[in-house]
Amino acid sequence: MAARVARDIDNGAYVNLGIGLPTLVANHLPPDREIILHTENGLLGMGPAPAAGDEDPDLINAGKQPVTALPGASYFHHADSFAMMRGGHLDCCVLGGYQVSVAGDLANWHTGARDAIPAVGGAMDLAIGAKSVYVIMEHQTRNGESKIVERCTYPVTGLACVNRIYTDLAVIDVTPVGLVVIDMVAGLAFTELQRLSGVPMRDAMAAGPAE
């Protein structure tokens, strides 16, 4: 999934990769493109993890893992960092997700379970701020329920904010006319994908021009 997302990120793009699965996208960015990574704790031009022994506790990413800074990097405080997110300056962010709805609502910060300790971080800022919001998640829960839903049952992170969903089965655009499948893993039939999904989708490859 991470590799598939990386292919869709343009040269020159400013990108924020969320904690967890999205972080892996960094390992797959095409070497012929210059893509500038933003981490909301105050660094633009984030580089890969340092060599063992070179970790600097003052140089970390949003997941609090040690990182490096590339030539051309800059440091800034949190208000400036979130201005980049909230002011619409990021071309793209990649977030994890519990659920995405047909309308593009995202749930990714809180299971809503009574004993859960909630934590939100910058997820809500990224959801409303980035020009394109990509969500990367398994197509189904471990119990076999679709994570793509008619309406989110978990507490939402943002409304109508998701542009594209990358799952282990397909790539799906959220459009004004509904969910459109633009790519599927090799060997998967659209009808099978539809059966595993909680909501109707259309097949961009099979369908004619959008209505």
User: Could you please report the per-residue DSSP string of 45-95?
Assistant: EEE-PPPTT---TTSB-TTS-B-EEEEEEEE--HHHHHHHHHTT--SEEEE
CB atoms within 10 A of CB 199: 15
Give the bridge partners for 183, in sequence order. 171
**Residue 161 is encoded by which pair of tokens?**
């904010």
> Judged by CB under 8 A, which stretch of 149-157, 181-189, 192-200, 201-209 contacts other proteins?
149-157
**Residue 195: partners with Cβ closer than 8 Å, 6 or more residues away:** none
* Beta carbon of residue 182, minimum distance to other proteins (angstroms, whole number): 26
42-81 binders of other proteins (CB under 8 A): 42-45, 55-60, 62-66, 69-81
19, 92, 149, 180: which one binds other proteins (CB under 8 A): 19
117-136 binders of other proteins (CB under 8 A): 117-125, 128-129
Catalytic residue among 40, 55, 145, 150: 40
Q: Is 90 in the site for other proteins (CB under 8 A)?
A: yes
Closest to other proteins by CB, 80 vs 192, is 80
Is 192 among the residues known to form the active site?
no
What residues are annotated to the active site?
A: 40
